[in-house]
């Protein structure tokens, strides 16, 4: 059997060696596992997220030259304030937030996108359309560059495009 033991030894199939190997594993002392508190780290991350949320939730200051309320705003909330219409003429992509905030306040927006590039106008219309859909509002085209956007509590009726097409544009030009 000496020959068989040598062959099994060479192939590492010796049954005695297998048991020795298992015993060697058991002889090792296990190093103590250091457990790090998971909740403390998660709490720190949550605090950081909350700080970011607090920073981003602060309303952006509204510039008075881009939003023009058609009726002065009172401090008391009543039906007249809810029916306020704001005219917004965006000049950049950062004005999208003002449009959405105005809709979230329950006010109607007349959006005038004259004088901006076609790409920027498309992005603003896409964002406004998505915001309007999210709150259950309505978006209607009045003319090529003017849109009316309403929250869910305001209903739009009538054919705006038909009304605009019916006017003779030359009658609006005054020669002085």
pLDDT of 126 above 90: yes
Same domain, 129 and 82: yes
Q: How many domains does one find in the chain?
A: 2
Q: How confident is the model at residue 162 (pLDDT cuts 50, 70, 90)?
A: low
Q: Is 149 a domain residue?
A: yes
pLDDT of 89 above 80: yes
DSSP string, 92-151: SGGGHHHHHHHHHTT-EEEEE-TTS-HHHHHHHHHHHHHHHHHHT-EEEE-SSSEEEEE-
Q: How confident is the model at residue 119 (pLDDT cuts 50, 70, 90)?
A: very high
Tell if the pTM clears 0.85, that is, is over it.
no
User: In which domain, by residue range, is 37 found?
Assistant: 2-57
Same domain, 97 and 163: yes
Same domain, 53 and 97: no
On the 0-12 / 13-18 / 19+ scale of CB atoms within 10 A, 97 is middle
Question: DSSP 3-state assignment of 36?
Answer: coil
Nearest Cα residue to 68 out of 82, 88, 83, 84: 88
Question: Tokens representing 109?
Answer: 């927006």
Which residue has better confidence, 86 or 28? 86
How far apart are alpha carbons 54 and 62 in whole angstroms?
18
Same domain, 49 and 82: no
């Amino acid at each position: 059997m000496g020959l068989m033991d040598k062959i099994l030894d060479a192939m590492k199939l010796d049954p005695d060696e297998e048991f020795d190997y298992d015993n060697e594993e058991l002889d090792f002392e296990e190093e103590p596992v250091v457990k790090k508190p998971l909740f403390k780290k998660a709490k720190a991350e949550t605090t950081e997220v909350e700080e970011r949320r607090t920073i981003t939730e602060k309303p952006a200051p509204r510039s008075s030259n881009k939003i023009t309320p058609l009726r002065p705003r009172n401090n008391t909330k009543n039906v007249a304030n809810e029916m306020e219409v704001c005219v917004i003429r965006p000049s950049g992509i950062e004005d999208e937030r003002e449009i959405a905030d105005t809709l979230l306040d329950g006010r109607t927006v007349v959006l005038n996108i004259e004088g901006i590039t076609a790409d920027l106008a498309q992005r603003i219309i896409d964002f406004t359309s998505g915001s309007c859909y999210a709150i259950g509002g309505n978006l209607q085209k009045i003319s090529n560059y003017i849109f009316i956007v309403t929250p869910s509590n305001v209903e739009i009726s009538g054919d705006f495009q038909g009304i605009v097409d019916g006017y003779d544009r030359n009658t609006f030009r005054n020669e002085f």
